[in-house]
Structure 1
Amino acid sequence: MPIALLVLIFAVAGFVGTHFLFSHIARPWAVATFGVNGFRIFYSLVAMAFLVVILAAYHQAPHGPMAWSSDNLGLQLVFDAVGYFAVALFMASLIGNPGLVGANLNGLSTRQPSGVFLITRHPMMFAIAIWLVVQLLILPSPRNLISCAGLVTLALVGSRLQDAKKTAQSGREWGLWVSRTPFWPDLRQIGHLGMNWLVATGPWLLATWAEMRIMQTPVGIWYLFPNLPY
Structure 2
Amino acid sequence: MDAKLVSLIAASAAFVGSHFLLSHPLRARLVAAVGPGGFQALYSLFAFAGLGWMVMAFVAIGPQGAVLWDGTSDAIWALASLLTLIASVLLLGSFMGNPALPAPNAAQHAARGVHGVFHVTRHPMMWAIALWGVAHILVRPDPRTGVLAGSFILLALLGSHFQDRKKQELMGGAWQVWQAQTSFWPRPLGLLSAGIVPWLGGLVLWLGATWAHVWLVYIPAGLWRWVG
Q: Same fold (TM over 0.5)?
A: yes
- Counterpart of 1:25 in 2: which secondary structure? coil
- Residues 1:145 and 2:162 are matched in the alignment: no
Equivalent residue for 1:111? 112
Equivalent residue for 2:85? 84
Equivalent residue for 2:203? 201
Alpha-carbon distance, 1:107 to partner: 4.1
Q: How far apart in 1 are the matches of 2:14 and 2:213? A: 23
- Counterpart of 2:122 in 1: which secondary structure? coil
Structure 2: 5+ residue runs without aligned partners? none
- TM-score normalized with structure 1 length: 0.91
Q: How far apart in 1 are the matches of 2:19 and 2:75? A: 37
Corresponding pairs, count: 226
Q: How far apart in 1 are the matches of 2:117 and 2:78? A: 24
Q: How far apart in 2 are the matches of 1:29 and 1:199? A: 39
Question: How much is the aligned-residue C-alpha RMSD, in angstroms?
Answer: 1.8
Are the equivalent residues in 2 in contact too, given 1:73–1:223 (CA < 8 A)? no
- Residues 1:2 and 2:2 are matched in the alignment: yes
Residue 31 of structure 2 aligns with an amino acid whose one-letter code is V
- Counterpart of 1:200 in 2: which secondary structure? helix
Are the equivalent residues in 2 in contact too, given 1:120–1:185 (CA < 8 A)? yes
Q: How far apart in 1 are the matches of 2:210 and 2:23? A: 30
- Residues 1:26 and 2:10 are matched in the alignment: no
Task: State the percentage of identical aligned residues.
Answer: 37
Q: How far apart in 2 are the matches of 1:154 and 1:134? A: 16
Residue 18 of structure 1 aligns with an amino acid whose one-letter code is S
Matches within 5 A, 1:60-99: 60-64=60-64, 65-99=66-100
Alpha-carbon distance, 1:211 to partner: 4.2
- Residues 1:101 and 2:102 are matched in the alignment: yes
Q: How far apart in 2 are the matches of 1:46 and 1:203? A: 27
Q: How far apart in 2 are the matches of 1:78 and 1:43? A: 35
- Counterpart of 1:106 in 2: which secondary structure? helix
Residue 19 of structure 1 aligns with an amino acid whose one-letter code is H
Alpha-carbon distance, 1:202 to partner: 2.5
Equivalent residue for 1:57? 57
Alpha-carbon distance, 1:72 to partner: 1.6
The alpha-carbon distance between structure 1 residues 39 and 50, as it changes in their structure 2 partners (threshold 3 A), is same
Alpha-carbon distance, 1:75 to partner: 2.5
Residue 76 of structure 1 aligns with an amino acid whose one-letter code is W
- Counterpart of 1:126 in 2: which secondary structure? helix
- Counterpart of 1:220 in 2: which secondary structure? coil
- Residues 1:157 and 2:152 are matched in the alignment: no
Are the equivalent residues in 1 in contact too, given 2:130–2:157 (CA < 8 A)? yes
Q: How far apart in 1 are the matches of 2:109 and 2:195? A: 22
The alpha-carbon distance between structure 1 residues 214 and 134, as it changes in their structure 2 partners (threshold 3 A), is same
Alpha-carbon distance, 1:9 to partner: 0.7
Are the equivalent residues in 2 in contact too, given 1:118–1:181 (CA < 8 A)? yes
Residue 15 of structure 1 aligns with an amino acid whose one-letter code is F
The alpha-carbon distance between structure 1 residues 28 and 67, as it changes in their structure 2 partners (threshold 3 A), is same
- Counterpart of 1:146 in 2: which secondary structure? helix
Structure 1: 5+ residue runs without aligned partners? none
Alpha-carbon distance, 1:111 to partner: 2.8
Q: How far apart in 1 are the matches of 2:96 and 2:221? A: 29
The alpha-carbon distance between structure 1 residues 38 and 21, as it changes in their structure 2 partners (threshold 3 A), is same
Q: How far apart in 2 are the matches of 1:122 and 1:141? A: 28
Alpha-carbon distance, 1:160 to partner: 0.8
Alpha-carbon distance, 1:105 to partner: 2.9
